[in-house]
């Protein structure tokens, strides 16, 4: 399909023939892969901004919890980029498990370890997407 200058000029956020092809080809891949190879964990979405209570001086954020499956991978040394630590690891998540929302660095995961469940802070997120998110590659740090 030929794309006109006006379609191209509107930018990548506009639905069009290129982005929808990514959804068609790659969209169905993440779900089955994560379902087969993933481990159960909990994703906690922290809604921004929180509510400030002047009496206590605390900011309370609304949290939404999702029971998800994620493929857990070690980081390769070349991925450290100077900001990651040796204890950091990667999670691959299917967006369908979290209502096709986006993962933010304010969110966290509870991940099972042999020593018990650990809270993990989101350090970095790479979103693979077409018109919609296809998968997330999330770098987390155990706390």
- Which range (6-20, 25-39, 46-60, 95-109) has the least confidence? 6-20
Whole-number pLDDT of residue 94 = 85
**pTM value > 0.75:** no
Please name the helix (run of DSSP H) or strand (run of DSSP E) that holds residue 70, with its range, or none: strand 63-74
Calpha distance 127→102 (Å, rounded): 8
Which domains does the chain carry?
37-142 (2.40.10)
Tens of pLDDT, residue by residue over 24-68, are 544 455 556 766 778 899 999 998 777 888 999 888 888 999 999
Calpha distance 37→35 (Å, rounded): 6
Whole-number pLDDT of residue 109 = 97
């Amino acid at each position: 399909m030929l794309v006109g200058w006006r379609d191209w000029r509107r930018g990548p956020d506009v639905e069009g023939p290129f982005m929808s092809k990514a959804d068609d080809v790659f969209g169905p891949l993440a779900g089955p892969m994560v379902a087969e190879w993933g481990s159960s964990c909990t994703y906690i979405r922290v809604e921004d901004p929180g509510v400030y209570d002047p009496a206590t001086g605390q900011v309370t954020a609304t949290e939404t919890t999702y029971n998800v499956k994620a493929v857990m991978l070690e980081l390769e040394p070349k991925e450290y980029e100077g900001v990651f630590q040796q204890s950091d690891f990667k999670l691959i998540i299917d967006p369908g498990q979290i209502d096709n929302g986006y993962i933010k660095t304010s969110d966290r995961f509870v991940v099972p370890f042999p020593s018990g469940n650990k809270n993990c802070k989101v350090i970095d997120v790479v979103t693979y997407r077409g018109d919609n998110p296809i998968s997330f590659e999330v770098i987390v740090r155990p706390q």
